[in-house]
Amino acid sequence: MSEARSTRFTKYFPMLLDALRSADPTPMRPAEVIAWIRGRMEIAEDDLTRQVESGSQSIFENDVHWARFYLAKAGLIGKVKRGVWGLTPEGREARLTPEETRSLYVRIRDAARPGAPNDEENLPAPKAEEGDDGAGQSYWFLGSVWDNDDQLPRFLQEGIWTNGYEDQFNDRVMSIKPGDRIAVKATFVQKHRLPFEVGGKPVSAMRIKATGIVLENLGDGQTVKVAWDPPSTPRDWYFYTYRTTIVEADIETEGARRLVDFAFRGQQQDYARWLAQPYWVAKYGANAAIAVVDPAPPVEAAPEDDVGEPEEDPPLHHRRHHRRRVLPPSRSVGRHAGALENQKESDPPGPTRNWQDLAG
């Protein structure tokens, strides 16, 4: 038997078995497994932020899928049904020591993957036959400003996200699942210093301020526990934006899939593609699509005077039925971020519709 190469993903073998054991005999979705491990291990920042070659998963997520592949080949994880992972009887009894982990890896590598490349861990993990690549995972875009006070610093410090209303959006919060991805966003309109040229006209924008993975839903319609991703520079996304405080992205639409890739996988927005869409051509003109300054400019926070004028708040008779939760203000209040969150897009398609209803 050849000696084991140094691999990054073998450390997840015991943790993956423990995760499945925690819910056994109920199988788990891959996203739930990833969240369970994320909440119990210190994961290297680079593994959370760097993407595999395919660009569809972080290194950490890919490592967990590699671990599943090897444990399945070893007969410790079995085929339950499409989109979930479950233990076999052997898996329920397995308590892998470091020596057993290395031995299992070498045995499966030599038997099932002869000639595997030395950089195997940097390649996309094989997909399970049951189709487990992200099955059941949702992507949420959430606000963080309550009455001009940005709660994001508190959320990051406490490892949570909380609904700012006591009697609104409770059902949506209840539907957020462990393993779902969330992004904290602020919507606004911008006229200047855009990465494309539209003749000074206002453009709907959405700033992605933080991302994370849901560890637990407390079931009260208010709070979810979150493992936040390492801090990064906020990034601005244009055209297809969400005004509502809590929105689940409809990944059946191309526009939402592109937004998810931008927010959670670090991909750049293709401005020319959006400016060429009929709705935006009618709004900004046919020449806007060929006037792109830079398809991937460095993103910086827009100065306050570059943000469009806000519209008036909803009438009081509308707001009084939705009570905000009252908490002490956060220690670090982003005044500009608060202004952005409370501004509305210009020329919305309708009183109850978002930009994504027309574009994408």
Last residue of a domain, one of 72, 89, 122: 122
Q: What is the pTM of this model?
A: 0.74
Is 133 part of a structural domain of the chain? no
Say yes or no: 55 and 111 in one domain. yes
Domain end position, chosen among 122, 153, 176: 122
The pLDDT score that the predictor gives to residue 353 is 39
Quote the pLDDT of residue 134: 53
Alpha-helical runs (H) found in the chain: 12-23, 30-38, 45-49, 59-73, 89-93, 98-112, 152-158, 170-174, 254-265, 271-275, 278-284, 316-319, 335-342
* 198 and 117 co-located in one domain: no
Please tell me the predicted confidence (pLDDT) of residue 320.
Answer: 30
Q: Considering the domain boundaries, does residue 63 fall inside one?
A: yes
Residue 127, burial from CB neighbour count under 10 angstroms (0-12, 13-18, 19+): exposed
Give the model confidence (pLDDT) of 161-186 as tens digits.
999 888 899 999 999 999 999 999 99
C-alpha to C-alpha distance for 322 and 222, rounded to whole angstroms: 14
CB atoms within 10 A of CB 27: 19
Please state the rounded mean pLDDT for residues 13-27: 94
Based on the fold, state whether residues 156 and 100 are members of the same structural domain: no
Same domain, 90 and 155: no
Q: What is the pLDDT of residue 313?
A: 28
| pLDDT-wise least confident of 32-41, 50-59, 91-100, 175-184 | 50-59
The predicted pLDDT at position 323 comes to: 53
Is 130 strand, coil or helix?
Answer: coil
Residues 47 and 113 in one domain: yes
Residue 342 in any domain: the answer is yes
Give Dmax (Cα) for the chain: 75
* Exposed/middle/buried for residue 163 (C-beta within 10 Å: 0-12, 13-18, 19+): buried
Query: Same domain, yes or no, for 66 and 180?
Result: no
Given CA atoms 312, 313, 317, 318 in this order, what sign does their dihedral have? positive
Tell whether 266 and 207 lie within a shared domain.
yes
Considering the domain architecture, whether residues 112 and 148 belong to the same structural domain is answered as: no
pLDDT band at 83 (very low <50, low <70, confident <90, very high): confident
Please tell me the predicted confidence (pLDDT) of residue 302: 41
Average pLDDT over residues 95-110: 90
What is the domain-level CATH number for residue 63?
1.10.10
Is residue 1 in some structural domain? no
| Contacts of the segment 230-233: beta carbons below 8 A, 24+ positions apart | 230/45, 230/48, 230/49, 231/156, 232/49, 233/299, 233/300
pLDDT confidence of residue 11:
93
Higher pLDDT, 37 or 291: 37
List pLDDT tens digits, range 310-358.
332 232 223 333 455 544 444 433 333 333 433 433 333 333 334 443 4
Residue 227 counted as domain residue: yes
What integer is the mean pLDDT of 253-260? 94
Same domain, 53 and 116: yes
| Domain-located, residue 59 | yes
**Does residue 129 sit within a domain?**
no
Answer yes or no: is 134 within a domain. no
Domain extent, residue 22, equals 9-122
Q: pLDDT grade, residue 7 (50/70/90)?
A: confident
pLDDT, the chain, mean: 79
Same domain as 195, residue 113: no
Residues 6+ positions from 123 with CB-CB distance below 8 Å: 52, 53, 117
pLDDT-derived band at 238 (thresholds 50, 70, 90) equals very high
Q: How many domains does the chain have?
A: 2
Residue 277 phi/psi, 5-degree rounding, is -70, 145
DSSP 322: S
Beta strand pairing status for 149-150 and 145-146?
antiparallel
**What are 50's two structure tokens?**
């760097």
